[in-house]
């Protein structure tokens, strides 16, 4: 069910460049299910969304980088789920935002390096691609940091305490 919600969330904001809730849903699955199950949610959601993306299928190395990024989001939030949900409301929001920052930064590093690698560009000539990706990565990182800090604690308070395993 969380895989379906994650994919639906991916489609929900597909028209808004670099703002998404797919990763947020995968992180939420980590808080609910733990690391192993959330990694599977991340891999399945990433596989479905990447394969059936309305913007087109990504290059295979980019798709693999995306899958690794999604799986890491599930793993991190699943592995550290008890530390993310303990403390004051401010502390929880800060930790969730920091986690969102970390997983999104890794995701953007992986995918921004995978793109020129997948197009056959020599590594010495990757810098224009990487520089061009900075503004998009900044939007993605900032929006996910805020979404994770603002929405993840609320979602867990409302649903997590009831359904976490």
Record the tokens describing residue 72, joined without a space.
């890491």
160 pLDDT more than 80: no
In this prediction the pTM is 0.94
**Between these two residues, 107 and 160, which has the higher pLDDT value?**
107
For the chain, domain boundaries = 2-163
- pLDDT tens for 94-124 read 999 999 999 999 999 999 999 999 999 999 9
- pLDDT tens for 22-81 read 999 999 999 999 999 999 999 999 999 999 988 889 999 999 999 999 999 999 999 999
Q: Please name which of 128, 129, 100 lies closest in space to residue 30, comparing C-alpha atoms.
A: 100
C-alpha–C-alpha distance, residues 89 and 157, integer Å:
10
161 pLDDT more than 90: no
Give me the count of residues in the chain: 165
Record the tokens describing residue 26, joined without a space.
């995968």
3-state secondary structure of 165: coil
143 pLDDT more than 70: yes
- pLDDT tens for 125-136 read 999 999 999 999
Contact of 155 with 21, CB cutoff 8 Å: no
CATH class of 2-163: mainly alpha
138 pLDDT more than 90: yes
**Token pair 């990694």: residue:** 39
Q: Is the dihedral of CA 158, 145, 99, 56 positive or negative?
A: positive
């Amino acid at each position: 069910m969380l895989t379906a919600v994650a994919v639906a969330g991916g489609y929900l904001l597909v028209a808004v460049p670099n703002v998404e809730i797919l990763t947020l849903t995968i992180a939420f699955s980590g808080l609910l299910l733990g690391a192993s199950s959330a990694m599977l949610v991340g891999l399945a959601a990433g596989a479905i969304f990447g394969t059936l993306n309305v913007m087109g299928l990504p290059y295979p190395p980019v798709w693999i980088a995306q899958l690794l990024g999604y799986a890491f989001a599930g793993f991190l939030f699943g592995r550290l789920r008890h530390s993310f949900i303990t403390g004051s409301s401010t502390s929880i929001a800060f930790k969730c935002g920091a986690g969102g920052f970390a997983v999104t930064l890794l995701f953007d590093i992986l995918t921004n390096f995978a793109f020129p690698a997948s197009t056959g560009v020599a590594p010495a000539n990757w810098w224009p691609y990487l520089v061009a990706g900075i503004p998009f990565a900044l939007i993605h990182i900032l929006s996910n940091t805020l979404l994770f800090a603002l929405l993840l604690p609320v979602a867990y308070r409302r649903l997590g305490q009831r359904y976490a395993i």
